[in-house]
Every structure is written in structure tokens, then in C-alpha cells.
């Protein structure tokens, strides 16, 4: 059974810092991996989708990498801003279901 | 923790039929439930937000008359795909948050894979 872990559970940084969020999974036979942003009380917003054949994806200040063999993904946020404050979730999919990590709660202080 | 269930986990139906998917919060009262879908090789996308006792709020591009959402109780929300067609084949997943839970927390169901023939 796939298990997804996110570290750290919470992170607080000053504005402007670059930061890395980590996601690990136990079964490397995945279809894809996604990173999401969750604002309090709102639905998830998809940030980046990495197919199993890909190593990384980039969107603006965000870069996500995938290392299937080691069961790891990282989300890199450059030049963080207070508006980046949210909970970040990763999720892995195989052909049957999707498993979510518990999330990392990010606070970017002005 | 909190548990959210979905039923059925898989469904295969003929084109033109309607399919109902249930999402239940088993050990907490879900004041808000979210419905998502994921097409093959695409991102999971939010379809609608459902608050108990009120009409669902649909995301742009999601047909409210085709995807009927009912959230009549604090533990159950249903998504009905009406007159399903092959292009509706997708993975549908719900999540819930609610009483006693942080607004930062969403609890996800296991998903329902719909195949329309």
C-alpha cells in the first residue's frame, strides 16, 4: 500500500528566501506525482504535474523534481512571498488510486 | 485522523445512463466537501465546492446541470453524472473538511474510477 510522507509538517520563513518542500513515497510504481496548494477552507489548486517518465517540471517560481527510484519529490519555491503562505500537498497516483501526503504548512513572513 | 469513504470505487456504465457517486465522512461532520476529477495524464482539478444545506459552487467550465451535487447532510455528499458519455470517463475524488477540523485540513476519499462505454 502506497504511503506518502511530507517533511516538514510546517515551515516558517522570511520573505525572499528560497525553500524546499519534500515528499517521499514508498512504492515507486507510480503513474504521476502532483503538487497542490491549499488555502484555508478552499479546494486544492494544482501547481505542477510530473508524469512518471519526467524528472522535473517548472512553473514560474516553482520547480518540482521527481526521483522515482528513491521515492522522492521536492518542490522548490524561489524568492518566497507572503502570498505563498498556504498548505502544500503532494499526491501520487497509480492506475488505481491517488494517495495524498499530510501536507506542509508554509508561512512566509513579510 | 478522519475517514472519508467513496462508493463505488469503480463503475462502468453505458453511454446515456446516469451514475451516482457517494462521499461520506465517517467520523466527523463535514460542513464542506469538494469534488475533483482527473483525466488521464492530467492534473486533478476542482469541480465544485459543496456546503451542507446550500447549492454547490461550480468551477468555471463545469456544467452544473450535468454534474449534480447534493450535500443534504453533514456526512454525505453525492455527485451524479447525468447522461454520461465516454468523455466523462475519469477519476473522481472527494474531500471533506468540517466541524472540529482546521480549515487547513482536507480529508480525501479513495476515489471513484468511472468508465463510460
Q: Given A34, A96, A105, which is nearest B44 (Cβ)? A: A34
- Grid cell of A26 as nine digits: 514508498
Contacts of B108 in chain A (CB under 8 A): 98, 100
pLDDT above 80 (res B1): no
Give the model confidence (pLDDT) of B12-41 as tens digits: 999 999 999 999 999 888 889 999 999 888
Q: What are the backbone dihedrals phi and psi of residue A24, each rounded to the nearest 5 degrees, phi first? A: -125, 150
pLDDT of residue B52: 85
Q: Is the dihedral of CA A76, A81, A82, A84 positive or negative?
A: negative
As a whole number of angstroms, the distance between CA B19 and CA B13 comes to 8
CB B90 within 8 A of CB B39: yes
Closest-CA residue to B116 (of B68, B81, B70):
B81
**Chain A CB within 8 Å of residue B77 CB:** no
pLDDT, tens only, B78-108: 999 999 999 999 999 999 988 777 766 788 9
Distance CA B89, CA B36 (A): 13
Are the C-beta atoms of residues A99 and A90 closer than 8 Å to each other? Answer: no
pLDDT in the model for residue B98: 82
- Residue A69 gets which letter from DSSP? T
pLDDT digits (tens, 9 = 90+) for B49-80: 998 888 899 999 999 999 999 998 999 999 99
Distance from CA of B83 to the nearest CA of A (A): 24
Task: Please give the grid coordinates belonging to residue A32.
Answer: 504521476
DSSP 8-state class, residue A106 = E
Residue-level length of chain A = 110
CA distance B32 to B19: 22
Amino acid at each position: 500500500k502506497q504511503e506518502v510522507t511530507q517533511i516538514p509538517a510546517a515551515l516558517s520563513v522570511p520573505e525572499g528566501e528560497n525553500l524546499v518542500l519534500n515528499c517521499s513515497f514508498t512504492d515507486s510504481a507510480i503513474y504521476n506525482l502532483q503538487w497542490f496548494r491549499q488555502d484555508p477552507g478552499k479546494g486544492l489548486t494544482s501547481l505542477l504535474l510530473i508524469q512518471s517518465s519526467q524528472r522535473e517540471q517548472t512553473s514560474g517560481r516553482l520547480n518540482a523534481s521527481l526521483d522515482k527510484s528513491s521515492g522522492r519529490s521536492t518542490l522548490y519555491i524561489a524568492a518566497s512571498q507572503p502570498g505563498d503562505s498556504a498548505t502544500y500537498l503532494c499526491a501520487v497516483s497509480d492506475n488505481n488510486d491517488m494517495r495524498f501526503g499530510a501536507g506542509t504548512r508554509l508561512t512566509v513572513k513579510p | 485522523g478522519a475517514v472519508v469513504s467513496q462508493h463505488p470505487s469503480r463503475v462502468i456504465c453505458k453511454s446515456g445512463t446516469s451514475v451516482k457517486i457517494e462521499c461520506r465522512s465517517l467520523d466527523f461532520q463535514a460542513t464542506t466537501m469538494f469534488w475533483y476529477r482527473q483525466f488521464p495524464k492530467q492534473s486533478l482539478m476542482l469541480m465544485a465546492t459543496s456546503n451542507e444545506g446550500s447549492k454547490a459552487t461550480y468551477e468555471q467550465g463545469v456544467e452544473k446541470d450535468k454534474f449534480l451535487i447534493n450535500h443534504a447532510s453533514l456526512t454525505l455528499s453525492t455527485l451524479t453524472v447525468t447522461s454520461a458519455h465516454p468523455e466523462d470517463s475519469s477519476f473522481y475524488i472527494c474531500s471533506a473538511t468540517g466541524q472540529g477540523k482546521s480549515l487547513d485540513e482536507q480529508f480525501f476519499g479513495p476515489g471513484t474510477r468511472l468508465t463510460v462505454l
